[in-house]
């Protein structure tokens, strides 16, 4: 045994001892209630494991040794401390084969696998595997990539939609939830993917209806597909999601390059041309000013679609004067968008702010403890 192996073994023994001391039978009962396999679990909150991972730091060898211990919390800790840059496809395969619970599967995909260079390859490959936890890992990984992979293109996600549609008919509970998660996550990335995900959900719904037509009983796979499509459509077509994806769309002014180009072009226009580009709305304003302000549509709202800037003016009793003021405010708002904010220098939190944070966490802990049901001792 090398010196590195000896050090890892010593650390594993120390960490496992610490984990045993932190374990709680009450937590194990709660974990089991949520469908987590607690056969080899101590019952430790993930927040506590994250605290330990911050103290330990990144350590690939220690992560491998912790995983080999087969303890539930030790394996989650291994996912938190492993170095994604040195994780191999073989390691991912071996760990995926050891998954025995949804939380371990999701921690591995979200905290580690998505950061590796093999993430996309494995997500696509595992989606066709029959093992329950491996297939769940595929779609959990897709959902995580949709949320965190800023370098991926729309084309990368569009090619996994057929995989999602195919797996939607898997009736296993933990698989169907991951498939639904992936479809919703993909559809919340931007406006183009939102539209594609909605069409995908509608295709799943249509296929499920075709398979159920003329049959007395509905197959479990059809029920699963219907639930995935219905749940995804409800969220992806909601107003909140529509607004969110609109702001993330590359064709939307939220794209810095597009917006700045449009801002510069708009500022170069004459007042009349700029007004013609705006969507002008007249409405009844409130507040002091008399009847001409409160009972006539004298207030003006100018919305400039190309840049996403909206301004209002309602101080004057005259609609024409309010329009002039609104135009001035629009130009000022556009000019502000051309300014580049000075880079913020990161600073360390002060000692007093750390103490306030610790005190607030302690108060929250005491508040939560006071709500617990008293134990019989």
**What is the spatial distance between Cα 185 and Cα 125, in angstroms, rounded to a whole number?**
19
Joined together, the tokens standing for residue 62 give: 């220690």
pLDDT tens by residue, 134-168:
999 999 999 999 999 988 888 999 999 999 999 99
Q: Answer whether 88-252 and 256-337 agree in fold.
A: no
SS (H, E, C) 229-295: HHHHHHHHCCHHHHHHHHHHCCCCCCCHHHHHHHHHHHHCCCHHHHHHHCEEEEECCCCCCCHHHHC
- As a CATH number, domain 88-252 is 1.25.40
Joined together, the tokens standing for residue 171 give: 């009736």
Average pLDDT, the chain: 88
- What local confidence, expressed as pLDDT, does residue 211 receive? 86
Length of the chain, in residues: 377
pLDDT category at 1 given cuts 50, 70, 90 is very low
Candidate from 104-108, 138-142, 207-211 with smallest mean pLDDT:
207-211
pLDDT tens by residue, 60-92:
999 999 999 999 999 999 999 999 999 999 999
Joined together, the tokens standing for residue 249 give: 């769309």
- What local confidence, expressed as pLDDT, does residue 253 receive? 44
Residue 31, SS3 per DSSP: helix
Closest CA to 86 of 112, 123, 125: 112
- What local confidence, expressed as pLDDT, does residue 297 receive? 82
pLDDT tens by residue, 283-313:
887 666 555 556 778 889 998 888 888 899 9
CB atoms within 10 A of CB 136: 28
- As a CATH number, domain 256-337 is 3.30.160.20
Sequence ranges of the domains in the chain: 1-82, 88-252, 256-337
**What is the spatial distance between Cα 294 and Cα 278, in angstroms, rounded to a whole number?**
24
Measured CA angle at 129 (ends 124, 130), to 5 deg: 150
In this predicted structure, the answer to whether residue 331 has a pLDDT above a threshold of 70 is yes
Phi-psi region of 142 (alpha: psi -120 to 50; beta: other; left: phi over 0): alpha
């Amino acid at each position: 045994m090398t010196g590195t192996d000896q050090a890892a073994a010593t650390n594993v023994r120390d960490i496992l001892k610490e984990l045993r001391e932190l374990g709680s039978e009450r937590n194990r009962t709660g974990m089991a209630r949520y469908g987590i396999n607690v056969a080899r679990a101590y019952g430790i909150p993930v927040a506590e494991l994250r605290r330990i991972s911050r103290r330990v730091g990144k350590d690939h060898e220690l992560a491998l040794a912790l995983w080999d211990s087969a303890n539930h919390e030790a394996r989650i800790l291994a996912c938190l401390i492993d170095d994604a840059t040195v994780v191999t496809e073989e390691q991912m395969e071996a760990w995926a084969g050891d998954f025995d619970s949804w939380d371990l599967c999701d921690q591995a995909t979200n905290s580690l696998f998505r950061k590796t260079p093999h993430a996309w390859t494995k997500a696509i490959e595992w989606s066709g595997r029959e093992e329950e936890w491996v297939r769940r890992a595929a779609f959990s990984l897709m959902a995580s990539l949709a949320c965190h992979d800023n370098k991926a293109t729309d084309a990368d996600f569009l090619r996994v939609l057929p995989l999602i549609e195919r797996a939607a008919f898997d009736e296993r509970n933990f698989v169907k939830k991951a498939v639904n998660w992936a479809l919703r996550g993909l559809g919340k990335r931007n406006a183009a993917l939102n539209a594609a995900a909605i069409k995908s959900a509608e295709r799943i719904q249509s296929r499920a209806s075709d398979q159920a037509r003329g049959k007395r009983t509905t197959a479990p796979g059809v029920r699963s597909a219907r639930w995935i499509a219905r749940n995804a459509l409800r969220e992806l077509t909601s107003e909140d999601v529509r607004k969110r994806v609109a702001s993330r769309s590359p064709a939307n002014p939220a794209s810095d390059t597009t917006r700045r180009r449009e801002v510069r072009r708009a500022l170069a226009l004459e007042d009349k041309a700029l007004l013609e580009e705006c969507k002008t709305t007249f409405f009844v304003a409130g507040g002091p000013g008399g009847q001409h302000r409160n009972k006539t549509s004298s207030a003006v709202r100018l919305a400039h679609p190309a840049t996403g800037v909206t301004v209002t003016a309602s101080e004057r009793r005259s609609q024409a004067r309010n329009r002039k003021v609104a135009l001035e405010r629009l130009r000022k708002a556009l000019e502000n968008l051309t300014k580049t904010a000075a880079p913020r220098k990161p600073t360390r939190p002060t000692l007093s702010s750390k103490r306030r944070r610790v005190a607030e966490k302690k108060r929250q802990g005491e508040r939560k403890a006071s709500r617990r049901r008293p134990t019989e001792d």
